[in-house]
C-alpha cells in the first residue's frame, strides 16, 4: 500500500512539473495542472501520515518489549 502511494506521488509530481514546463511553450488549461497538483499533495499527505503511524507503531512495539522485560 505504502509503495503504491509513493509511486503515485512520484508520478503525479513528474506530471505536474512536465505540465509546468509545457505551459511555458504551449497554452494548456490550468485545471489540468491544478488536478495533478491536488493529487500530488493528497498522496504526499497520505504518505506522511502513514510514515507517522508506522513510526508510532514501532515505538509502541519497543515500549511493549521493554515492559515485558521488566516483568521477567
Residue carrying C-alpha cell 505540465? 19
Contacts of 40 (CB under 8 A, 6+ apart): 9, 12, 13, 16
Say what the pLDDT of residue 46 is. Answer: 84
The Cα 39–Cα 69 span in angstroms is 45
Domain boundaries, the chain: 2-71
pTM of this prediction?
0.61
pLDDT at residue 71 is higher than 70: no
pLDDT of 5-57, one tens digit each? 778 878 888 888 888 888 878 887 778 778 888 888 888 888 888 877 777 77
CA distance 33 to 13: 10
d(CA 16, CA 36): 6
Both ends of the chain: CA-CA distance in Å? Answer: 37
Using 50, 70 and 90 to split pLDDT, how confident is the model at 2? low
Amino acid at each position: 500500500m505504502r509503495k503504491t502511494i509513493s509511486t503515485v506521488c512520484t508520478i503525479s509530481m513528474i506530471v505536474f512539473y512536465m505540465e509546468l514546463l509545457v505551459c511555458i511553450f504551449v497554452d494548456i488549461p490550468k485545471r489540468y495542472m491544478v488536478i495533478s497538483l491536488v493529487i500530488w499533495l493528497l498522496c504526499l499527505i497520505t504518505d506522511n501520515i502513514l510514515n507517522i503511524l508506522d513510526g508510532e507503531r514501532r515505538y509502541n512495539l519497543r515500549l511493549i518489549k521493554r515492559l515485558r522485560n521488566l516483568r521477567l
